[in-house]
Amino acid sequence: MEQRCKMNSKPMLAIGVAAAFALAAGAAQAQTNSSGNKGTAAPAQATSGEMSGKSTTSKASKADQAFLKEAMQGDMAEVKMGELAQQKGESDGVKTFGETLVTDHGDHLKKLEAASAEMGVSVPDGMSAKQKADHDKLSKLSGAKFDREFAKHMVTDHKKDIAKYQAEAKKTGPLADLAKQTVPVLQKHLKMAQDLDKPAATTGSSGKMR
């Protein structure tokens, strides 16, 4: 009897040891799963940090903000002037130039708005007070007088714009690249305005220019 009890106690001891090992293995597995879940959360936090870092580097400097605002207002003004030239202009040249202004500066404005969105700069509501005053002044003219004043204004205005864009083109960055692309277009507009601003040649009875 005593030997049987001793023999029976060995299987019970083995069962107890196996249960202990099973509990230890379960705890280890739970701990592994827990640490695994924490590991998957870390990349999400890192991605968020990277995203916030990118948005910070895309912020525009004060100089960039000022240039973008002024450039967008300039495009808005040129589009309005172009529309006015098509309505009020007497010569075909003025009307054609007006159409060119609307197309070129309208396309350029879209590029500036895209750049502003990337750099976190808000788009201005409209033209500056000076530009609006110039537009209103020309809107009161018509015929040949409008053509003359419009051409003079366009020559002066585009000379100023070319100087600003050439200065920006000497810098580095996306705005400098955009400015370099814009200068030839403004120079084309200046040439068109200067041709319109030339006084018409007059001829005498001999047919020669005088």
Candidates 139, 121, 4; CA nearest to 83 is 139
DSSP H helical segments within 58-142, as ranges?
62-88, 92-119, 129-139
Torsion of CA 181, 72, 162, 143, to 10 degrees: 120
Which residues of the chain have a pLDDT value below 50?
1-7, 9-25, 27-28, 30-57, 201-210
Residues 6+ apart with CB under 8 A from 174: 115, 118
Our measurement of the distance from residue 80's CA atom to the centroid of its chain's CA atoms, rounded to an integer in Å, reads 21
Task: Give the separation between CA 176 and CA 170, rounded to whole angstroms.
Answer: 7
Task: Give the separation between CA 104 and CA 106, rounded to whole angstroms.
Answer: 5
Looking at 1.20.1260.10, 1.10.1740.10, 1.20.120.400, 1.25.40.10, the CATH number of the domain 60-197 comes to 1.20.1260.10
Output the pLDDT for position 37: 44
Using one digit for the tens of pLDDT, what is the confidence trace for 6-51? 445 444 444 444 444 444 445 445 444 444 444 433 334 433 333 3
Coil, helix or strand at residue 203? strand
Task: Give the separation between CA 86 and CA 96, rounded to whole angstroms.
Answer: 7
In sign, the C-alpha dihedral spanning 115, 74, 139, 85 is negative
pTM of the entire predicted model: 0.68
